[in-house]
Amino acid sequence: MASQEKVAFITGANKGIGFETARGLGEMGIAVVMASRDEARGKAAADSLRSEGIKRVEALRFDVTKPEEHQVIAKHLEARYGKLDILVNNAGISLDDSDFGATGGFNTTPTVTPEALRQTFETNFFAVVALTQVLLPLIRKAPSGRIVNLSSILGSLTLHSDPNSGIYNKKAFAYDASKTALNAFTVHLAQALHGTKIKVNSAHPGWVKTELGGSAAPLEVSEGGKTSVQLATLPDDGPTGGYFHLGQPLPW
């Protein structure tokens, strides 16, 4: 029998934006399942939330790039909760040899290696598609499923091609292209789920002071999960197939 409470599964949840997303959803009374590759760090993150009074939190070791673990997590969620209300595909990497916090420009396209491209796409795109497909039957069992794909404004082809854009001179090709592909997945999956109560959206968290964003980022880590939380808790008349930052649509 499916749990009556809402349940969220968040990848890469032991730190940064994933952790703040877990905190935000947990504060709303949603049961949060925090996935991370490092079991000890995941448990420490869950303990930290419990110390803040968020009791419905569970930490699981999980590597999104290992398909066999997708099946394990699906079986665990089904056995324990019977459904999945919210999937936040947060885990991601950047292997481009560039400084996201740099004030100057950069373009890694002439130098990025095939290995970096493949590894970046494996984590940021292929693994996300595969995991979502495995968990979709559980999301269908929820009254109003929500899927949030952690993208980036760096995935916007419109802004990358605009000389007046703030990201025009900042092009980490492997990372950016993986997020563009992720946005395509959002649009296509949303259309495939047309007529259901499941909503699929891409989130740009903002330029946040994380390991990826760097110390020059204007947003504190505590602000990084706001867009994900918003999209994970959209009302039934909310948008689907969109690309947002703090409720504002972004150009593809």
Domain boundaries, the chain: 7-249
Report how far residue 45's alpha carbon sits from residue 158's, in angstroms, rounded to the nearest whole number: 37
**pLDDT greater than 50 at residue 69:** yes
**Residue 175 a catalytic site member:** yes
pLDDT tens digits for range 112-168:
999 999 999 999 999 999 999 999 999 999 999 999 999 999 999 999 999 999 999
Smallest Cα–Cα separation from 203: which of 7, 5, 10, 6?
A: 10
pLDDT in tens, 21-65: 999 999 999 999 999 999 999 999 999 999 999 999 999 999 999
Report the candidate in 154, 167, 231, 152 with the shortest Cα–Cα distance to residue 199: 231
Does domain 7-249 sit in CATH 3.40.50.720? yes
Specify the 3-state DSSP secondary structure of 159: helix
At 152-190, the pLDDT tens digits run 999 999 999 999 999 999 999 999 999 999 999 999 999
Query: Which residue has 């150009």 as its token pair?
Result: 251
Q: Where are the beta strands (DSSP E) in the chain?
A: 7-10, 31-36, 57-61, 86-89, 106-107, 146-150, 170-171, 199-203, 242-245, 248-249
Q: How confident is the model at residue 206 (pLDDT cuts 50, 70, 90)?
A: confident
Residue 210 or 113, more confident? 113
User: Does residue 218 have a pLDDT over 60?
Assistant: no
pTM to 2 decimal places:
0.94
Indicate whether 213 pLDDT > 50.
no
Cβ-proximal residues to 126 (8 Å cutoff; 6+ apart), any chain: none
Q: Which of 81, 168, 175, 243 is catalytic?
A: 175
